[in-house]
A and B are shown apart, each in its own frame.
Chain A
């Protein structure tokens, strides 16, 4: 069974540009969450999608957005990139959102974004 796949693995962008990252969840998983990982800050929650709807949003500016498609694949977009957006962006998928077995989250390998 294929794991969570994120593309691309690495990106270098210039300040002011925008970027789109992609996440393909494990087959059958309907929940996709996105996290930003930076040294010293751990994993900070960006947003969660389930059945094509954003269910939760973290404390990030509106420049960060996302969406989920009918096949559960998800994309996140960052507009007007800033130097501080440089980070590892991780997505995680789970079978369902809440309650009991099936809520275990599995991570992709991440996209390393560098803003110069």
Chain B
């Protein structure tokens, strides 16, 4: 089955800096790669996703890049703000497989 590795497990940045979280996946059949943000005590919420027919997608301060050949994808957050502090999860799915999640990255943005 699919295996998703996520790094780093913890990331501390200063407000205004950029943050990058990286994920690799194992199943070449995977074609859908969402990212979720989970604030403390809340449900995971979809913040951006990408499908395998595109290499990059942006939405304001967040962007996701996908390299299908290398089987890795990354989340980029620019101009980080304290409210970006949360746990971020990447995931992959494809064919008839369900979402497989990485173990999460705790992002801490210091004012």
* A residues near B42, Cβ cutoff 8 Å: 109
Does A41 contact B103, Cβ atoms closer than 8 Å? yes
* B residues near A105, Cβ cutoff 8 Å: 34, 46, 99
Instruction: Point out the residue from A33, A55, A90, A104 that lies within 8 Å of B46, measured CB to CB.
Output: A104
* A residues near B98, Cβ cutoff 8 Å: 33, 45, 48, 55-56
Size of the A side of the interface (Cβ < 8 Å), in residues, is 25
Instruction: Point out the residue from B36, B93, B94, B103 that lies within 8 Å of A40, measured CB to CB.
Output: B103
With A40-B103, A42-B104, A110-B43: A104-B34 Cβ-Cβ less than 8 Å: yes
Contact with A along B94-111 (1 / 0, CB 8 A): 111111111110000000
Does A45 contact B100, Cβ atoms closer than 8 Å? yes
Choose among B42, B99, B100 the residue with the greatest number of A CB atoms under 10 Å from its CB. B99
| Min CB–CB distance B53 → chain A (angstroms) | 10
**B6 to A, closest residue via Cβ:** A42
**Which chain A residues have a beta carbon within 8 Å of chain B's beta carbons?**
4, 33, 35, 40-45, 48, 55-56, 90, 92, 97-98, 100, 103-110
